[in-house]
Amino acid sequence: MSAPASAAATELGTSLKTSSGKTFGRRARLAFYNRTFKAICVVCAVFVCIILFSILFLMGRTGILTFEYVSPMEFFFSTEWVPENEQYGAFIFIFGTFALTALTMLIAMPISILIAVFLAEVTPPWLRAVLRPVLDLLVGIPSVVYGFLGMTLLIPLLRDVTGTTMGDGLLAAAIVLTIMVLPTISRISDDAITAVPKKYRDASYALGGTRFQTTFKVVLPAARSGIMYAGILGMARAIGETMAVVMVIGNTPQLANSLLKPTSVLTSNIVMQIANVPFDSTWNYALYLMGFLLLVISLLMIVLIRFMQRKGVQR
Amino acid sequence: MQAPAHTRALIEIDKLNLYYGTFHALKNVSMEIPEKAITAFIGPSGCGKSTLLRTLNRMNDMIAGTRIEGKIAIGGADIYSKEVDVETLRKKVGMVFQQPNPFPKSIYDNVAYGPRLHGISGRKQLDEIVETSLRSAALWEEVKDYLKRSALSLSGGQQQRLCIARALAVEPDVLLMDEATSALDPISTLKIEELAQELKDRYTIVMVTHNMHQAARVSNQTVFFLNGEVVEYAETEKLFSTPRDQRTEDYISGRFG
């Protein structure tokens, strides 16, 4: 037979028995807490999903009514946006949104990558400690402020430089958006570059690589997926941006066949017109459909980001 | 202390002192490293053997607060003089690290990386360099059909031999191996040791090892470090059979370290 348990062992055994014999004992209480907590979590998660699908449903339901009066062909491919004459061709805005986003990324990506390389590889630590928080703060500046800067500084500058009378248009909007998304893209790229293991750099240096060669041939390729992730995040922001764009794009429904011609994009057109349309009109439905289109584009980009994140982990 | 005198010295280290900030990591180290032979640095952790190795290709330059006194000459040229170009030095003095560190690129691109850095871009020439280097590193037969595959798909031992091939591709004269087998399994370790034996006919090899038996198996001369000082420096056989210093004897008989 085993020796009688020591006092300490007995105490341990007692403390392990969760049931204390009371009707609402420790075990029952714990089970109740666990169940309640789980239920709250599930409710929250379901709530978020409900919101998302409600938005999609509401926008889509109202937007789809457009097609009772306007054929999809006309909506997507006609450049005639004259609601007074019942003409609802949104091609100008769809094209404007894609052109603006593409132009923004074309300017923003190289600059952001250079900033990120500068931050992660070149800057002395004390300067880095100052610059990183500054960039993080820039992300939080309200977009209307960027719009003001574009209106009061950039557009007069563009008039002077190019000699046009207006200055509003894709170029002005793209520059303002670039300034807006630069901090986001460069900081996330900076993190991606910093996360590249030191051993890759060591290997390159040990083969006689210069810092320039090491950065562009080893570090940037190794950080590629993170940098692309940063780019898509910036792009999603640029596509949905409204205020800053409204203030510098000119808000004229004409096709942007020049960088300096006043035009309009999906967001700016919605916000300029939504306040003035009759509630149950095709015009209203068409604006909803444009909003729905933006929503779908953004969701697709987020899905793309998710997909890339997963790929990044595998690598 | 005298150098084993059976070959010509390629690397001469004269009264070298190295400080990391205020820490005196290498104390008055002098030695000669012979050409086309394997020299092993042994000693307990933190004794300065890796630090000395990294001064030979100036990888310590990148650690802030490092200060060096004394002289290191390779082939008669002071490698810390202003006239020496670090990139050329590192091309001539290749290095293999403790952790296999192939780039996240294809096997081919890993080996071709160094030659490309130094301006070789001809497809044919690169193909040739890649094959020769992989053959030299005893890896060609295993990977010749998978050159486009990611280097990260190789096993640890293969990755390390790939790193050796990558180092050889820029035609160095000296090959530094910083505990190159300590992250590998015994069979991979053996392969790398055999490889080192073959390579010593063409290259001057300096290896740091934690493993005394490895030093005894593969090296021609052995240097024993303790607390930043060279305690003893002799032909490997001599050092292991008849150590002159009591501390060496204690270390190789496993009484500390």
For residue A5, give the DSSP letter: P
Mean pLDDT for the stretch of residues A208-231: 93
Using the Cβ of B254 and the Cβ atoms of chain A, whether some distance falls under 8 Å is answered with no
Using the Cβ of A315 and the Cβ atoms of chain B, whether some distance falls under 8 Å is answered with yes
CB atoms A207 and B59 under 8 Å? no
The pLDDT value recorded for residue B97 is 94
How far apart (Å, rounded) are the C-alpha atoms in residues A151 and A189? Answer: 29
User: Which residues of chain A make contact with B114, given a CB cutoff of 8 A?
Assistant: 207-208
SS3 B232: strand
Instruction: Check pLDDT > 50 for residue A220.
Output: yes
CB atoms A207 and B103 under 8 Å? no
Give chain B's domain count.
1
Minimal Cα–Cα distance from A285 to chain B, Å?
51
**Residue B237 falls inside a structural domain:** yes
Of A150-154, A170-174, A307-311, B183-187, the least confident: A307-311
User: Which residues of chain B make contact with A207, given a CB cutoff of 8 A?
Assistant: 90-91, 94, 113-114, 117, 166-167, 170
Using the Cβ of B59 and the Cβ atoms of chain A, whether some distance falls under 8 Å is answered with yes
The pLDDT value recorded for residue A19 is 57
CA distances from A138 to A79, A177, B38 (A): 37, 13, 57
Mean pLDDT for the stretch of residues B35-58: 92
Domain with B202 in it: what CATH number?
Answer: 3.40.50.300
Minimal Cα–Cα distance from A204 to chain B, Å?
8
Model confidence at A10, in pLDDT bands (50, 70, 90)? confident
Minimal Cα–Cα distance from B103 to chain A, Å?
6
The pLDDT value recorded for residue B231 is 92
Instruction: Check pLDDT > 50 for residue A40.
Output: yes
A203, A206, A208 ranked by CB distance to B103: nearest = A203
Q: Helix H segments across A118-223?
A: 125-139, 143-149, 155-162, 170-194, 198-206, 211-214, 220-222
The pLDDT value recorded for residue A92 is 92
Q: What is the ipTM of this complex?
A: 0.91
Name the residue in chain A with its Cα closest to that of B162. A203
For residue B32, give the DSSP letter: E
B87, B103, B114 ranked by CB distance to A200: nearest = B103
Mean pLDDT for the stretch of residues B173-188: 91
Instruction: List the domain boundaries for chain A.
Output: 87-273
Written as one string, the DSSP assignment of B156-202 is HHHHHHHHHHHHHTT--SEEEEESTTTTS-HHHHHHHHHHHHHHTTT
The pLDDT value recorded for residue A315 is 42
User: Which residues of chain B make contact with A222, given a CB cutoff of 8 A?
Assistant: 103-104
The amino acid at residue A86 is E
CB atoms B95 and A206 under 8 Å? yes
**Residue B55 falls inside a structural domain:** yes
**Angle of helix A170-194 versus helix A91-117 axis, rounded to 10:** 40
Using the Cβ of B118 and the Cβ atoms of chain A, whether some distance falls under 8 Å is answered with yes
**Residue B1 falls inside a structural domain:** no
How does the average pLDDT of chain B come out, rounded? 91
Mean pLDDT for the stretch of residues B179-199: 91
Minimal Cα–Cα distance from A39 to chain B, Å?
44
CB atoms A199 and B90 under 8 Å? no
Using the Cβ of B94 and the Cβ atoms of chain A, whether some distance falls under 8 Å is answered with yes
Do A218 and B110 meet the contact criterion of CB atoms below 8 Å apart? no
For residue A206, give the DSSP letter: H
The pLDDT value recorded for residue B1 is 43
Using the Cβ of A217 and the Cβ atoms of chain B, whether some distance falls under 8 Å is answered with yes
Q: Of A84-93, A158-167, A253-262, B162-171, give the range with the top mean pLDDT.
A: B162-171
Sign of CA dihedral A96, A101, A106, A108: positive
The amino acid at residue A116 is A
CB atoms B101 and A200 under 8 Å? yes
- pLDDT tens per residue, range A96-109: 999 999 999 999 99
Pair type for strands B77-78 and B93-96: unpaired
In SS3 terms, B91-140 reads as HHEEEECCCCCCCCCEHHHHHHHHHHHCCCCCHHHHHHHHHHHHHHCCCH
Instruction: Check pLDDT > 80 for residue B122.
Output: yes
CB atoms A207 and B62 under 8 Å? no
Which residues are CB-contacts of A64 (< 8 A; sequence separation ≥ 6)? A285, A289
The pLDDT value recorded for residue A279 is 84
A208, A218, A315 ranked by CB distance to B88: nearest = A208
Strand partners, A178: none
Minimal Cα–Cα distance from A133 to chain B, Å?
24
Mean pLDDT for the stretch of residues B213-230: 92
Mean pLDDT for the stretch of residues A21-31: 76
The pLDDT value recorded for residue B7 is 64
B62, B103, B167 ranked by CB distance to A205: nearest = B62
Model confidence at A21, in pLDDT bands (50, 70, 90)? low
Model confidence at A3, in pLDDT bands (50, 70, 90)? low
The pLDDT value recorded for residue B103 is 95
Instruction: Check pLDDT > 60 for residue B5.
Output: no
Q: Helix H segments across chain A?
A: 7-16, 26-64, 72-77, 91-117, 125-139, 143-149, 155-162, 170-194, 198-206, 211-214, 220-222, 224-240, 243-249, 266-273, 282-314
Q: Which of A207, A213, A225, A311 to mutate to test the interface with B (most CBs of B within 10 A)?
A: A207
Is the CATH number 3.40.50.720 carried by domain A87-273? no
User: Which residues of chain B make contact with A219, given a CB cutoff of 8 A?
Assistant: none
CB atoms A199 and B97 under 8 Å? yes
Minimal Cα–Cα distance from B197 to chain A, Å?
22
How far apart (Å, rounded) are the C-alpha atoms in residues B161 and A127? Answer: 40
- pLDDT tens per residue, range A107-145: 999 999 999 999 998 898 899 999 999 999 988 899 999
Using the Cβ of A211 and the Cβ atoms of chain B, whether some distance falls under 8 Å is answered with no
The pLDDT value recorded for residue B165 is 95
Mean pLDDT for the stretch of residues B54-77: 91
How far apart (Å, rounded) are the C-alpha atoms in residues B232 and B49? Answer: 13
CB atoms B163 and A209 under 8 Å? no
Instruction: Check pLDDT > 80 for residue A17.
Output: no
Full domain range(s) for residue B175: 9-252
The pLDDT value recorded for residue A314 is 44
Instruction: Check pLDDT > 80 for residue B39.
Output: yes
- pLDDT tens per residue, range B101-112: 999 999 999 999
Using the Cβ of A218 and the Cβ atoms of chain B, whether some distance falls under 8 Å is answered with yes
Instruction: Check pLDDT > 50 for residue B2.
Output: no
User: Which residues of chain B make contact with A121, given a CB cutoff of 8 A?
Assistant: none
Chain pair A-B, CB pairs under 8 angstroms: 61
The end-to-end CA distance of chain B, in Å, is 23
Do B156 and B183 meet the contact criterion of CB atoms below 8 Å apart? yes
Using the Cβ of B98 and the Cβ atoms of chain A, whether some distance falls under 8 Å is answered with no
Using the Cβ of A202 and the Cβ atoms of chain B, whether some distance falls under 8 Å is answered with yes
Nearest 5°: the CA angle A254, A145, A250 is: 10
**Residue B4 falls inside a structural domain:** no
Question: Quick one: which of B15, B79, B40, B49 has its CA closest to B207?
Answer: B40
Per the rule left: phi > 0, alpha: psi between -120 and 50, beta: everything else, A153 is alpha
- pLDDT tens per residue, range A257-287: 888 888 999 999 999 999 888 888 999 999 9
**Residue B134 falls inside a structural domain:** yes
Instruction: Check pLDDT > 50 for residue A209.
Output: yes
CB atoms B91 and A207 under 8 Å? yes
* pLDDT over 90 percentage in chain A: 60
